[in-house]
Amino acid sequence: MKSALYIHIPFCKEKCLYCDFYSAQYSESLAGSYISVILKQLQGLNQDFSTIYIGGGTPSILSLNLLDKLLSGLKKFLKSDMEFTIETNPESVDSEKLKLFLDKGVNRISIGVQSFDDKKLKTLGRIHDAREAMEAIELSKKAGFKNISIDMIFGISTEDLKAWQADLANVAGCASQHISCYSLSYEKDTPLFRMREKNRIAPLDNETMAEMYRYTMSYLPAKGFNHYEVSNFAKPGFECAHNLNYWDNNPYIGLGPSAVSYIESGRSENVAGVEEYIDRYEKGVSLIAYRENLSGVRMAKEAAAVKIRTKQGIDYEWFKNKTGFDFEDILEKGVLDELFKDNLLEYRIDKVTRERTGIVLTEKGFLFSDTVSSAFL
Ligand code: SF4
C-alpha cells in the first residue's frame, strides 16, 4: 500500500498576517537542535514510503548546512519513482540550495508565491515581492527542476476580479507544472482576523469570491492545467502524488511539531511547540499531544469527506474496497437527496453500461465543497 512521509520545518522569518499554522522564529541553533531530533527519528523509521514532503513553516529558511544534513538523512528512503517535494519561499531560496535539493533527490519544488502584486503581498504580510517571486521561479527552472508548483491566494479585501485575472495570467505564464489556488480565510487568532473584527478591513463579498473561483476553474484548464482537486490544478501527469495519498485515505507519518500521522485507523497529532518537541524527545517522553482511534464508520465517513474534493469524486467500488462499506450505507438518511436537490452532486455514469458508478461534485458543488464534506461527516 502507498504511504507518505511528511516532515514539518516549523520556522519562518516573520509571521504572515493570515497564517494560523504553528511556526517559530528561525535561529540557527534552535533549528540545529531540531534537525538533530528529526535525524534521530528518521534513523528509527524503517518503512517504505511512496512520497516524501518537506513542508512548513519555511523549509528553505534552513541554512545550507542544515538542509544538507536533513536531506542526507532521507537518503535511505529514496526510490527512483518517488515524488520528493520541498516547500520554499521566494526570499529564502538561492541557486546553491536549489542545486543541493536536486543533488539529494528532491524532484518537486513548491514555491509560496501567493501573488505577483506587491500591494497584495503587503496586505497578506508576505516578506517577498513580485520580483523575488519571479526570480525564485526562474532560478528553480534554471537549476533543473521539471516539476514546479506555485501557491496562490485570492480574495483579499481590496482585490477585484480583474486583479485576480492578472495574477492568474502571470502564474499561468510561468511555465510551471502545478498551481494551487486558495481562497483567503480569516482564521481566528491571526492579525488579519483582528483587523476584520475592528472593521479595519472588510472581507470580500461571497459573490465576488465565487466569481473569482469560477473564473479560475475555467481559465486554468484552458491553459492546460487540469482541475483535479478543489484547490489544485496540474498539467497532465503532474498531480501532487503526496496529496493524492492523503485524499486516497492512505497511511502517512508526520514528523515535527503539530504534524499529524494516520496509521491503521488511528490518528495522532504531535505537540505544537518546537522547544517542547525537542525537550520531550531528549527526555524520552511521548511527542503525541492527541490521539484518536477511528471506528470503521468514522474512518469511512472521513475518507468520503476528503475524496469527494477530487475531480474523480467517489467511485463506489473504490470506496467499498477501501473502507469495507457501501458508500450510501454510511450516510445519515436524506443527506444525499438534499445534496442532489441543491445541485451540489451528480452521478458518475459508466459509458458502456450506463450504470451509476459513483458521485462527483458539480460546478456548484466545487464552490460549496466544504458543505458537501461536512454533510458526509
Ligand atoms: S511563510 Fe507560510 S507558514 Fe510561515 S507564516 Fe507565512 S504562511 Fe505561515
Pick the CATH number of 297-376 from 3.30.830.10, 3.50.50.60, 1.20.120.1200, 1.10.10.920: 1.10.10.920
Ligand 1 centroid – CA 332 distance (Å): 38
List the residue whose alpha carbon is closest to atom 2 of ligand 1: 57
Measured in degrees and rounded to the nearest 5, phi and psi for residue 247 equal -70, -20
Q: Would you write out the chain's pLDDT as a tens digit for each of its 377 residues?
A: 789 999 999 999 999 999 998 889 999 999 999 999 999 999 999 999 999 999 999 999 999 999 999 999 999 999 998 999 999 999 999 999 999 999 999 999 999 999 999 999 999 999 999 999 999 999 999 999 999 999 999 999 999 999 999 999 999 999 899 999 999 999 999 999 999 999 999 999 999 999 999 999 999 999 999 999 999 999 999 999 999 999 999 999 999 999 999 987 789 999 999 999 999 999 999 999 999 998 899 999 999 999 999 999 999 999 999 999 999 999 988 999 999 999 999 999 999 999 999 999 999 999 999 999 999 99
Task: Identify the residues whose C-beta falls under 6 Å from ligand 1.
Answer: 12, 15-16, 19, 21, 23, 56-58, 89, 112
DSSP string, 122-181: HHHT-S--HHHHHHHHHHHHHHT-S-EEEEEEE--TT--HHHHHHHHHHHHTT--SEEEE
57 CA from centroid of ligand 1 (Å): 5
Q: How far apart (Å, rounded) are the C-alpha atoms in residues 356 and 47?
A: 38
pLDDT of residue 22: 86
d(CA 283, CA 320): 43
Residue 290: HSE in the Cβ half-sphere, 13 Å Cα cutoff: 8
Q: How far is the CA of 16 from the centre of ligand 1 (A)?
A: 5
Note the pLDDT of residue 264: 77
Report the distance separating Cα 123 and Cα 143, nearest Å: 31
Q: What is the structure's pLDDT at 1?
A: 77
The structure's pTM equals: 0.95
The residue to mutate among 12, 13, 110, having the most atoms of ligand 1 within 8 angstroms of its beta carbon, is 12
Which of helix, strand or coil describes residue 224? Answer: coil
Centre of ligand 1 to C-alpha 156, Å, is: 16
- Residue 249 corresponds to which cell in the numbers above? 485515505
Fold category of 4-246 in CATH: TIM Barrel (3.20.20)
Q: Taking the domains of the chain in order of start, what are their residue ranges?
A: 4-246, 297-376
Contacts 24+ apart (CB under 8 A), 340-344: 342/368, 344/368, 344/371, 344/372
Cell numbers of 153, please? 491566494
Q: Which contacts qualify for 351-355: CB closer than 8 Å, 24 or more apart?
A: none
How far does residue 111's CA lie from ligand 1's centre (Å)? 12
